[in-house]
Amino acid sequence: MNKTRSKKVIGDWGEKVAARYLEEKGYQIVTFNYRCSYGEVDLVCRDQEIWCFVEVKTWRSQSPFGSGYFAVSRKKQKRMTKTALDYLSRNRLGEPPVRFDIVSIEYTSTQDYRITLLKNAFF
């Protein structure tokens, strides 16, 4: 398996693990991988009345870059914000309460991993 394919497989696995984790926390998963011309949001969820736009970062636990939430750059935050506005507009949801969360998954294997949820990661 080439490196790009391997990253995609791990990323997809991480998104599924994150979705299960968020459901256990009471989130309702509405959409996986919402895409538009502005970018992509990994998970669109509801946490009671709050719409949550979630970025999932899956990293090897020995990564020199630290936790996955450090990889959500200002540029990525802006793209996520525009994408969230697009989602709300296309679905005619008006201006509900919105939050941006990051789920960081540090893994050694698919059986050995640690999840960190950062609520209100940015505005």
Lowest mean pLDDT among 5-14, 22-31, 35-44, 77-86: 5-14
Domains defined for the chain, CATH in brackets: 3-122 (3.40.1350.10)
Three-class DSSP category at 6 = helix
Q: Rounded to an integer, what distance in angstroms lies between the CA atom of residue 44 and that of residue 54? A: 6
pTM over 0.75: yes
In tens, the pLDDT along 31-45 reads 999 999 999 999 999
Cα–Cα distances in Å, from 20 out to 13, 14, 61, 78?
11, 10, 20, 26
pLDDT at 82: 97
Which secondary-structure segment (H or E) carries 59?
strand 50-60
Quote the percentage of the chain above a pLDDT of 90: 69
CA torsion, ordered 19, 98, 68, 71, to nearest 10 deg: 140
Residue 3: pLDDT over 80: no
